[in-house]
Amino acid sequence: MENNIKIQYCSDLHLEFLDNRKWVLENPIIPKGDILILAGDIVLFREIHQHQKFPALRSLQNSVFLYKDSFIYI
């Protein structure tokens, strides 16, 4: 029996912009993988506390990893 891990990723969501936040709320991330990687330019680092309970991420059942690619964004 083969055990495959499915990895899903998103990047460059830029949730600091209202239009992007609205879009993600209207088009939530549908979990399709065992692991979700949020790979850079998701939200401004100084605002991460505002998005930790973001509805699009709250509903995910799988493991979520944030990859920080700069000192400004996470």
Domains identified in the chain, total number: 1
CB 52 within 8 A of CB 24: no
CB 58 within 8 A of CB 28: no
Does residue 21 lie in a domain region?
yes
Per-residue model confidence as pLDDT tens digits over 20-57:
988 988 988 887 888 888 787 877 777 766 655 565 56
Does residue 74 lie in a domain region?
no
Q: Which residues contact 56 (CB under 8 A, 6 or more apart)?
A: 24, 25, 28, 29
Domain ranges, residue 29? 7-67
Does residue 32 lie in a domain region?
yes
Does pTM surpass 0.85?
A: no
Does residue 72 lie in a domain region?
no
Does residue 62 lie in a domain region?
yes
Paired residues of 64 in beta bridges? 36
